[in-house]
Structure 1
């Protein structure tokens, strides 16, 4: 999805107005910039070169013996078939022969997180929130045991989070994206009314969508205002973190507390499903409880997150007043 020129113009006007009143946001000296990551469709692949269609252009990325390919687990060159969707993260080694070097490639990866609506012996039906579709997820026998270890209640009303691989019949679960919260989706305890709202939120960053989505870097935020044209949904839960309300088009700076990378991205949709997950990420240490942001796959990978791992410990700074 390509952002409209009008939306881009409004975003730039807001940024200039904010900096005129409050000054430019000071950077964190320790932060490193994000790595280059993109989503695209495979056109051709060889042991030394990957050719993608991405954003309406042809992109060539060098590959080496250290390039790692994920396709439901370990993959190789055979997984890079023309027509398949991929998310590619470039390594830090820069250029090789004039082409960027691919460090990690995720093939047909997808994520399904939300509330279980129905379940059978080998599949679940999941409601991913008001701004996303309901979807049917197959759970193959080889993945069921691992899913049940971390999601023991495959029952309607409970939350589920699955890392999947795409197939012609829809997403197939590969592994759980997190441990299942022990409460029902409608039994989340809200923060105390007097709990202070922090300018810097700390908790878990995850990702949403799939490799086929070539949307630009952006974030789904758990507390998008439902009033007027802000873009929120009326029945969004309050979450277990006291969030400041934002609108679609606002900007947040996301810092990977484990990898030290940071980037400022726009809020592109309401992440009301994420607000129901009061869990922790243990990427490098136990994060505070609560999902504070969901990123598009390329934005998540660019900040050093591994899509198959599912999360990283994060801090989120709201850029400007709320």
Structure 2
């Protein structure tokens, strides 16, 4: 969390009380991100912000690198995200390598690649659709043309994301032609919907960049008069969300696992406001995106990054 965000939380708590700005959850000790420096069939060594750490594999440990793989498919130099099992920190339950995600509005398309605008404040991203996953992608994202929404998870390779899993079903019309949503008459204190994830470090230098380890949220309804900024491109969210500022906190509960946390708002999630989708593997029928958690926070609440979302209940401070 930046100093500015910390100061904002203290100011809000002093002005409105601690209930308006509860202290955020710290990093989960069971979730570790870094760069793989050594790997065998039974052990992994990861370079992290705190130095090298070693982890053990069991027969039940699962691995993902664009698809379910074995430890032999994880490479030295990979950006790895580790979630340990139980209350310990040394035995790996699940490992993800080279995770990448592209979410936003298609700007251009050329054969097997699309350029996507993820909203102001984030650089444009390139999603490559390999032939082996093109059938699955075409079912969920049939129109790869400018103006249509795109959201998929895959493997980062040389500055692009080779997508393998479509997170959502693409709406049937361009984002600019989506029906206007009526203004909300009432904003509930607790809201049900879905939560997704994003990587504030964009897959870069996971062992040296503090952004790769941040526990926070990007929010789709930032105050347009201040925190959204002059280049604000957010639209009316699918859900009746309250306006928040950077530094505000949101309490998020994963409705599938029951695990919850409190996270500061670190960034804008303007693209999330354009999606009114459901999480295909979540229980219940909640729809609409409440927030995007950073990758470590999403994983700490029991989320599966390759699925891309979970059903959640969120309460804004």
* Distance in 1 between residues matched to 2:21 and 2:217, nearest whole Å: 21
* Pairing partner for 1:51 from 41, 45, 53: 45
- Greater shift in the superposed pair: 193-202 or 11-20: 11-20
Structure 1 residue 71 corresponds to structure 2 residue 65: yes
Q: 1:38 to 1:183 in 2, by over 3 A?
A: farther
Shift of 1:85: 0.2
Provide structure 1 residue ranges, at least 5 long, that are not aligned to the other structure. Answer: 26-32
User: CA offsets per residue over residues 122-157 of structure 1, 9 Å max, x none?
Assistant: 111111111211122211111111000011111111
Alignment partner, residue 234 of structure 1: 232
* Distance in 2 between residues matched to 1:301 and 1:16, nearest whole Å: 28
- The answer to whether the 8 Å contact 1:280/1:286 transfers is no
Output the TM-score relative to the length of structure 1: 0.87
Alignment partner, residue 162 of structure 1: 152
Shift of 1:12: 5.5
- Greater shift in the superposed pair: 188-197 or 157-166: 188-197
* Distance in 2 between residues matched to 1:305 and 1:173, nearest whole Å: 19
User: CA offsets per residue over residues 185-207 of structure 1, 9 Å max, x none?
Assistant: 11233432243112112111111
Alignment partner, residue 4 of structure 2: 7
- The answer to whether the 8 Å contact 2:13/2:20 transfers is no
Matches within 5 A, 1:283-322: 283-319=281-317
Q: 1:174 to 1:194 in 2, by over 3 A?
A: closer
Q: 1:65 to 1:299 in 2, by over 3 A?
A: same
**Other structure's SS at 2:121 match:** coil
User: CA offsets per residue over residues 168-188 of structure 1, 9 Å max, x none?
Assistant: 252111121111122311123
Shift of 1:101: 1.3
Shift of 1:167: 1.1
* Distance in 1 between residues matched to 2:309 and 2:19, nearest whole Å: 32
Alignment partner, residue 85 of structure 1: 79
Alignment partner, residue 258 of structure 2: 260
* Pairing partner for 2:178 from 164, 188, 203: 188
Shift of 1:24: 8.8
**Other structure's SS at 1:191 match:** coil
Q: 1:57 to 1:188 in 2, by over 3 A?
A: farther
**Other structure's SS at 1:144 match:** helix
- Greater shift in the superposed pair: 64-73 or 222-231: 222-231
Aligned residues: 305
- The answer to whether the 8 Å contact 2:194/2:286 transfers is yes
* Distance in 1 between residues matched to 2:96 and 2:179, nearest whole Å: 36
**Other structure's SS at 1:186 match:** helix
Shift of 1:102: 1.2
Output the TM-score relative to the length of structure 2: 0.88
Q: 1:12 to 1:127 in 2, by over 3 A?
A: closer
Shift of 1:78: 2.0
Shift of 1:291: 0.7
Provide structure 2 residue ranges, at least 5 long, that are not aligned to the other structure. Answer: 207-211
